[in-house]
Amino acid sequence: MLSEVTPNVDGRKTGRLDDVKTGKWPANGGVSMRILLVNPPKVNFFRRLHLALPPLGIAYLAAVLRQAGHHVRIADLDVAPDPAPNFSQYDLVGISADTIGYPAALAVAEEAKRVGKPVLMGGYHVSFRDEEALRSGLVDYVIRGEAEEPIVRLAEALEGRRGLEETPSLSFLRGGEVFRTPSGPPVEDLDGLPLPARDLLPLDHYQVTFRGRRHTSIITSRGCPFACSFCASSRFAGGRWRARDPVSIADEVQQVRDEFGYRAFAFMDDNFTLNPQRVIGFADEVRRRNLDIIWWCFSRADTIAGNEAMVRAMARSGCGQIFLGLESGTEEILDDYGKRLTIAQQDRALAILRRNRIKVHGAFIVGHPAETRRTVRQTVAQALRSGLAFAQFSILTPYPGTPVFDEAVREGRLLHTNWNLYDGMHAVMRTDHLTPHELHRLFIEGYRTFYVRPRQVASELWDTLRFGEGLSVGMGRVMAFARLASDLRSYDFRLGSREAPQNVSLRDFGGRERRPATKGEARPTRVRGTGDQPAGWSGLRWTAKIRREGLP
């Protein structure tokens, strides 16, 4: 679905004063380009749970481009793939590309290049793999890191009003070699940015609810000082934390509530609670304005453990859930991840949140290079004893831009670079003690152990009674995990670590070849991103098989 608004220089659509006139963002000078920004489709576990939220990154870029006088559209193909964009209408096509979405981003780029349009890519993956994108023959420009200023400068360069070399953080090919302009500074004044261009997004297609209310996302800070080894945030957005003012945050919440009708919010910052006084200021502002909202955010356990007054203020202002990166049940692995966090701090944080009746969504990672069966089960035990409302287990994935990726390349641990399987659900690198198949079984065991418990089932039923959503969410989770277990079985075979299911052909990762079916043979059914799956092979039957035979 496409949305369009013509250039608007008085700030009404962005919710800000005219930053073009005040000089915060470059004026267009009467010339405008038609620019399409694309969020490519993604095929992963979380999309099966229908957990898509608006892509605020490209909505911010749309806002600054529109403020500079350009005609901008957003096509979010992840939730609204039809109708397909008519690329021939645009002067520039910009595509967001994280690692799992990079193959789909290339497919979008191919369609744009087919009609001769210049293609720009940005996002985490290409910021660290710019040469890979440029040498694909489908991408003309890559912006590395935060893109608000570079994308406006690039548009000016393409209009002939400045040279490409004057665009900060830009990569392109020149004479067959990759040319990189110096990286520009990150945006310092986040309150000076126009609000994301939500009016260009297909808001009706984002159906995620929180406690029975449709909710949407907000970003209130950028940068991360912690530099965990599995995360690229501090390299992408810088190690210095930059934050918006509490009043500015409340202004955006109120504007989105009044204009679009949302009364539930997700604060998508890497660490919303890094400055406790800022959080208290925001909570006080919510109560002063009587906004009547509910919300959740991401946090670290240590900022919770030492700030119960902040947690009380959060609870009073409508905070109902916090996402905590707990990561592991062993101190040694936590230390190696660079978390700068202890299990004792986790326990103190969890106790504080329980006292204030804030639910916890705990995230854990398995698959560290030194991981063993014992350490995986310690992590699962930590999840079970922590009183979490939800547990999320992921397999350690070496995303480009992370120290984990750099180390995996140096040590030859990568099994392949089929990026659409870098989803946190597939083992894509070797570990010292576990085969991919063993890791997958322990991973599924963790989910099964946590969610197939009387306490957890009762919690889902209680949420159904209170909010009308728990049972549907729970059943969706069961179906998604059943499909995931089946996908992993096929993936294991393709890695050579498991006996092949009947009728499954072995193909190279990412290939599309398929052996012809013999007479009378059922045609295998394609499972996107994971290889072939025989017709009639049921994910639910595989889950039942796991339960019947048990796990090692």
* Range(s) of the chain covered by CATH 3.40.50.2300: 2-180
**4-24: pLDDT as tens digits:** 433 333 333 333 323 332 334
pLDDT interval class at 489 (50, 70, 90): confident
Residues facing residue 95 across a β-bridge: 38, 121
Higher pLDDT, 374 or 13: 374
**415-439: pLDDT as tens digits:** 999 998 999 999 999 999 999 999 9
Weakest mean pLDDT among 84-88, 95-99, 407-411: 84-88
Tell me: pLDDT of 530 over 90: no
Tell me: pLDDT of 118 over 60: yes
* Range(s) of the chain covered by CATH 3.20.20.70: 208-451
Mean pLDDT of 474-497: 71
Would you state the pLDDT for residue 452? Answer: 82
Would you state the pLDDT for residue 480? Answer: 66
Would you state the pLDDT for residue 453? Answer: 79
Which of 93, 25, 12 is closest to 65 using CA atoms?
25
DSSP conformation letters of 355-384: HTT-EEEEEEEE--TT--HHHHHHHHHHHH
Tell me: pLDDT of 25 over 60: no
* Whole-angstrom distance, CA of residue 355 vs CA of residue 349: 10
Average pLDDT across the chain, whole number:
83
**438-484: pLDDT as tens digits:** 999 999 999 889 988 777 767 766 666 666 655 555 566 666 666 77
Would you state the pLDDT for residue 130? Answer: 98
DSSP conformation letters of 20-75: HHHTSS---TT---EEEEEE----SHHHHTT-----HHHHHHHHHHHHTT-EEEEE
Tell me: pLDDT of 376 over 90: yes
Would you state the pLDDT for residue 478? Answer: 63
Would you state the pLDDT for residue 83? Answer: 80
User: What are the percentages of helix, strand and coil residues in the chain, rounded to 5?
Assistant: 40, 15, 45
Would you state the pLDDT for residue 506? Answer: 26
**143-154: pLDDT as tens digits:** 999 999 999 999
Would you state the pLDDT for residue 472? Answer: 56
Residue type, 295: W
Weakest mean pLDDT among 13-22, 108-117, 125-134: 13-22
Alpha helices in 143-199 (DSSP H): 148-158
Would you state the pLDDT for residue 299? Answer: 97
* Whole-angstrom distance, CA of residue 223 vs CA of residue 187: 10
Higher pLDDT, 377 or 521: 377
* Whole-angstrom distance, CA of residue 245 vs CA of residue 12: 21
Would you state the pLDDT for residue 483? Answer: 73
> 208-451: which CATH architecture?
Alpha-Beta Barrel (3.20)
**304-353: pLDDT as tens digits:** 999 999 999 999 999 999 999 999 999 999 999 999 999 999 999 999 99
Would you state the pLDDT for residue 171? Answer: 98
Percent of residues, the chain, with pLDDT higher than 90: 70
**232-255: pLDDT as tens digits:** 999 999 999 999 999 999 999 999
46, 8 in Cβ contact below 8 A?
Answer: no
Weakest mean pLDDT among 53-57, 59-63, 205-209, 214-218: 205-209
Weakest mean pLDDT among 13-22, 216-225, 455-464, 488-497: 13-22
Residues facing residue 267 across a β-bridge: 218, 297
Q: What is the Cα Rg of the chain in Å?
A: 24
Would you state the pLDDT for residue 460? Answer: 67
Q: List the strands of the sheet with 141-143, edge to edge.
A: 2-5, 71-76, 34-39, 92-96, 119-122, 141-143, 170-174, 177-180
CATH class held by domain 2-180: alpha beta
67, 60 in Cβ contact below 8 A?
Answer: no
Q: What is the pTM of this model?
A: 0.83
**32-84: pLDDT as tens digits:** 899 999 999 887 666 666 678 999 999 999 999 999 999 999 999 998 887 88
Would you state the pLDDT for residue 51? Answer: 72
